[in-house]
């Protein structure tokens, strides 16, 4: 897979030592890691559109469960909870709060890596090939193929990534700054205007502009709900 499409894991954990250990393992497994040492920073990092979140239950500024609920209100991203609590009710509660899985502290990093893999695979089944309008538009993350009405559309790697990011977040406005960070891969003071040029090309190549709407003064929104499997 193109390294720019590597899975991104957001790690929200306030204990530096634990954070360092998990990060090391994640990097070794080939993931891109986003670190947050508190809940507020974790929410801020959501703008980087991670593929999975590892969330500590006890954070200095907010409760992991509350944070989980806030994230869930807006996203169905897989969440693995790290919890030191051992009472069964708490574990069940964690899952009910919207986490996909939980790992009890102290944990084995290898086991956590296995859980990460399973959660991503489960989510990836839904996500690997995106299909819209009863198959009119197909976007395949694995092969980087895009088809409209069954006909291949040739996109540059940047255009593909931008379309994939937009289509993976349907009906949600992504700001130009977000797209600059996520698609072009760098932080910019303001946004990179080439984003608009890439989007123009994507629309032209898809042969229609309905899929991606411009939200004036803000950014873009992919305007179609994916087909059910
Ligand atoms: Ca903690």
pLDDT tens column, 6-62: 889 999 999 999 999 999 999 999 999 999 999 999 999 988 889 999 999 889 999
Distance 121 CA to ligand 1 centre (A): 27
Q: Give the pLDDT band of residue 93 (cuts 50, 70, 90).
A: low
Which residues line ion ligand 1, judged by CB < 5 Å? 14, 56, 58
**Are residues 108 and 9 part of one domain?**
yes
The tokens describing 18, both together, are 């634990």
Q: Give the pLDDT band of residue 159 (cuts 50, 70, 90).
A: very high
**Are residues 212 and 159 part of one domain?**
yes
Q: Please report whether residue 227 resides in a domain.
A: no
**Are residues 116 and 138 part of one domain?**
no
**Are residues 214 and 112 part of one domain?**
no
Q: Please report whether residue 112 resides in a domain.
A: yes
Higher pLDDT, 1 or 82: 82
Largest CA distance in the chain: 56
Strands 32-36 and 79-83: unpaired
Residue 1, judged by CB atoms within 10 A of its CB (0-12, 13-18, 19+), counts as: exposed
**Are residues 142 and 84 part of one domain?**
no
Distance 107 CA to ligand 1 centre (A): 14
Tell me which residue range forms the domain holding 80. Answer: 4-127
What is the tally of structural domains in the chain? 2
Q: Over pLDDT 70: what percentage of the chain?
A: 87
Distance 71 CA to ligand 1 centre (A): 18
Q: Please report whether residue 229 resides in a domain.
A: no
Instruction: Answer whether residue 80 shows pLDDT above 50.
Output: yes
Asked if residue 43 lies in contact with residue 70, where contact means CB atoms within 8 angstroms, the answer is yes
Of 70, 101, 127, which residue is a domain's last?
127
Distance 75 CA to ligand 1 centre (A): 23
As a whole number, mean pLDDT of residues 76-85 equals 85
Span of 105-109, 112-116, 149-153, 201-205 with lowest mean pLDDT: 105-109
Span of 123-137, 142-156, 160-174 with lowest mean pLDDT: 123-137
Asked if residue 79 lies in contact with residue 100, where contact means CB atoms within 8 angstroms, the answer is yes
**Are residues 182 and 143 part of one domain?**
yes
Provide the 3-class DSSP secondary structure of residue 145: strand
Segment 28-31 long-range contacts (CB within 8 Å, at least 24 positions apart): 29/113, 29/116, 29/117, 30/6, 31/6, 31/7, 31/116
Question: Any idea what the CATH number is for the domain that residue 50 is in?
Answer: 3.40.50.2300
**Are residues 59 and 38 part of one domain?**
yes
Say how far apart CA 36 and CA 104 lie, in whole Å.
20
**Are residues 17 and 115 part of one domain?**
yes
As a whole number, mean pLDDT of residues 101-108 equals 87
Over residues 161-211, the pLDDT tens digits come to 899 989 988 888 998 888 887 787 766 566 678 889 999 999 999 986 689
Q: Give the pLDDT band of residue 78 (cuts 50, 70, 90).
A: very high
């Amino acid at each position: 897979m193109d390294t720019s499409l590597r899975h991104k894991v957001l790690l929200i954990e306030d204990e530096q030592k634990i954070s360092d250990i998990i990060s090391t393992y994640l990097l070794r497994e080939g993931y891109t890691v986003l670190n947050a040492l508190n809940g507020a920073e974790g929410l801020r990092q959501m703008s980087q559109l991670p593929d999975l979140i590892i969330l500590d239950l006890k954070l200095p500024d907010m409760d992991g469960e509350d944070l989980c609920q806030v994230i869930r209100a807006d996203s169905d991203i897989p969440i693995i909870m790290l919890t030191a609590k051992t009472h069964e009710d708490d574990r069940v509660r964690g899952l009910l709060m919207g986490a996909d899985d939980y790992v009890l502290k102290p944990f084995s990093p290898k086991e956590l890596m296995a859980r990460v893999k399973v959660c991503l695979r489960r989510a990836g089944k839904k996500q690997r090939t995106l299909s819209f309008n009863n198959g009119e538009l197909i976007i395949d993350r694995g092969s980087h193929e895009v088809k409209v009405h069954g006909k291949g559309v040739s996109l540059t790697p940047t255009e593909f990534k931008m379309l994939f990011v937009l289509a993976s977040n349907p009906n949600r406005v992504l700001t130009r700054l977000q797209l600059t960070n996520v698609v072009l891969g760098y932080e910019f003071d303001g946004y990179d205007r080439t984003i608009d040029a890439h989007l123009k090309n994507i629309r032209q190549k898809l042969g229609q502009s309905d899929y991606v709407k411009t939200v004036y003064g803000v950014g873009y929104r992919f305007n179609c709900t994916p087909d059910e499997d």
